[in-house]
Structure 1
Amino acid sequence: MSGSVRASHEQLAEAAHEDVLARAELASLGWDRDAVARQVNQGRWALHGSRTVALHCGPLAPGALQWRAVWESGASAALDGVSAMQAAGMTGFVEQHIHVSIDHRARFHPVSGVVAHRVRRRVKDEVLTNGVPRVRPAVAAVRAARWAVSDRQAALILVLPVQQRLVTPAQLVLAADQVKGRSRRALVAMLVQDIASGAHSLGELDFAVLCRRRGLPEPTRQVLRRGPRGRIYLDVEWEDIGLVVEIDGSQHFAGLAPTDDALRSNAVVLGRRMVLRMTLLGLRLAPEEFMDQVCEAHRQRTDGRRLAG
């Protein structure tokens, strides 16, 4: 043992992170490799890799697994992607592995249950060190979207932290500009702009182009109507057949917006119009499926007006 005073078990428990400590931390508290080995051999502690020591012999808690992932992955490692957002409080997403990012030049030994991503350069001050080392949520969200298994999953990963107020849309836009990478570059840039700008990015989406591709007449945009609380604007409408399409951006899911939207839609329906609703992100990810529904609704309304006439 070194000449330093050995911390008591109570002091170790106080210094531990979810009942785990790194070997370097234990050494600074007076517990060298031989002292740790005796606790392990006596069945009091357990090793979880070359750097992680649990002060018990049971399974590790989720938070302890995050610390282990960082320690075992190397000095440059930090939780990243979905794992960093979960450490920041994000819910509603299930991931089987813990994701970390490491410097692209760093040596890495595979760690069970951990996916390591090499990054060529980090954004300035992106790693938070109060608690388990983790990447800031906005940067982590952009990286997670690029690492996602599908475009649909990428969109969900970008939307969740905004909905749960872990990041602002502006922070997400900035992160998308700062975080370099080749995977899904165009899609991520488009999605974060949609999330930030909401429904008024309808012009960018150019719904009319999608209609022309399907042989539909071009609808009228931003139609002014009178609703239960005064004037309302409908995103698009075929006024001759009473077909309305509402395209909801991210602002439609915040605060009292769903209530206002329900009142508006009900007023339109009571005026004997058909209303189709879709999300802006959904139209990005599944345009053909949504346009199939628009075409079917247009056919039904057209046939109905023809029979009524």
Structure 2
Amino acid sequence: MDTACWSTSPRRACAVLCAGVQQQLLTAGHLENELRKAGRVRHAAIMRAILGDIGGGGHTLAEIELGPIALRAGLPRPRRQALRRDPHGRWRYVDAEFDLPDGVVLVVEVDGAVHLQPRSYWDDLDRQNEIVIDGSPVLRFASLGVRLAEQRVVDQLRRMRRAHTP
């Protein structure tokens, strides 16, 4: 919490908060409590907002930024970190699910650099195949793309929504 509070950049402060929860070092609730105890701090409003998003299932800033981007594309709020059972009985998380107008569930994955490692990449491909076989389309976005090519992400989400509008 100290690192986030002392940060001169609101984006850096939020990234620090996300990292702690993503690495399972603490919970969003714990951080919210610590932020209240910290008193008057720089970027407190945005930090409270991001902790609400983290508590709602967003694990990275890019995943959290996906919500407002999807709203711009005409999609509802996402179900974050949705659980799905694979054919082998294992529970697997997907970053976000959206209900499309025709009732189809769109799965969206936001991939950071760790997804480029061979083991992660192979696991991601297998999981995506199983999701598609079960009947859900999957869109994948690089986390950097969510930040740097936001309009492209909006466009692709919008076109997917249109393709599934009766």
**Residue 294 of structure 1 pairs with residue 157 of structure 2:** yes
Bigger share in helix: 2
1:212 equivalenced with 2:71 (yes/no): yes
1:233 aligns to what? 93
Counterpart CA distance in 1 for 2:10 and 2:155 is 25
Separation in 2, partners of 1:243, 1:279: 17
3-state secondary structure, aligned to 1:256: helix
- Between structure 1 and structure 2, the one with the greater Rg is 1
1:234 counterpart SS class: strand
In angstroms, what is the RMSD of aligned CA positions?
3.3
2:70–2:76: 8 Å Cα contact kept in structure 1? yes
Counterpart in the other structure of 1:257: 120
Q: TM-score, normalised by structure 2?
A: 0.59
- Whether 2:141 is the aligned partner of 1:282: answer no
TM-score by length of 1: 0.34
Equivalent residue number for residue 224 of structure 1: 83
Which residues of structure 1 form unaligned runs of 5+? 1-173
CA contact (8 A) 1:228 1:263 kept: no
Paired letter, 1:234:
V
Stretches of structure 2 that go unaligned for 5 or more consecutive residues are 24-57
Give how far 1:203 is off.
7.5
1:287 maps to a residue whose letter is E
SS in 1 for 2:164: helix
The 10-residue stretch of structure 1 (200-209 or 216-225) with the greater mean CA deviation from structure 2: 200-209
* 1: CA distance, partners of 2:62 / 2:160: 22
Matching residue's letter, 1:258: Y
Deviations along 1:69-89, whole A, 9 cap, x unmatched? xxxxxxxxxxxxxxxxxxxxx
Q: Which amino acid counterpart does residue 68 of structure 2 have in structure 1?
A: V
Distance in 1 (CA, whole Å) between partners of 2:123 and 2:157 is: 23
Specify which structure has the bigger relative contact order, considering alpha-carbon pairs within 8 angstroms and separated by 6 or more residues.
2
Cα offset, 1:257, TM superposition: 0.5
* 1-structure distance, mates of 2:63, 2:137: 25
Q: What percentage of aligned pairs have identical amino acids?
A: 35
